[in-house]
Amino acid sequence: SLTPEFYSACDPAVSFNGNYIRFAGKAKPGNRWQIWRMDRDGNNKLQITKSVKDCMSPLYVGSLFHLDDQAPTRKILYVSNNHLFTCNLDGTRSRQITFNLYPEFSPDVLPNGRIIFSSVTDSFADKNPGKIINLLAVNIDGTDLMGYLTASDTPFNKSMVRVGEDRNVYFIQSNNPSAWGGGILSRVSTRRPSHSIRN
């Protein structure tokens, strides 16, 4: 075990160079989940987020470059309070980038650097009113939010999304509105997601 001193740990994410691991950790039973960093051998653990909310699902994402920056700033992404946040590698400049009324979860990085994630929204279908889980995509600065695979493409809930090395997006498709419900393993191509659904 790399985290024997933690009450619980999950969601490991390995850095692009393989030297570090970000993970969600709960140091003691009463603590909130926070994002931590450690060396790949488990040494030098450092708490990255210090939020009053739970922080989960860390991801290494691309870099941001602003006009007044001397160099691009590397970012990580995480989920807190059911929304997506980014921050610098050291936890500074934390910023919420999605603002849906309902939960957002299960993010991953697309080959073009955008973030794909599951998002609960209202379903306006006559036969299936209520909530539905769609796949959305957004830039790491929060701009250009748009549907990636929505109810107009397939009327099922889409959760637990993961991007494969084969340039396909894999997810669970089901009638269950729960984020953790079981279902059918499905995939779409990143080239034409709405026209390539395969179970």
Express each pLDDT in 152-192 by its tens digit.
898 899 999 999 999 999 999 998 776 566 899 999 999 99
Report pLDDT for 145.
96
Q: Which residue has the tokens 């748009």?
A: 146
d(CA 114, CA 191): 14
Judge whether 2 and 42 are in contact, CB under 8 Å.
Answer: yes
Amino acid in the structure at residue 140: I
d(CA 56, CA 34): 7
Q: Which portions of the chain are predicted below pLDDT 70?
A: 125-129, 178-181
Report pLDDT for 23.
98
pLDDT in tens, 180-189: 668 999 999 9
Judge whether 58 and 44 are in contact, CB under 8 Å.
Answer: no
3-state SS assignment for residue 154: coil
pTM, entire model:
0.92
Phi, psi of 195 (to 5 degrees): -120, 15
Q: What is the DSSP letter of 32?
A: P
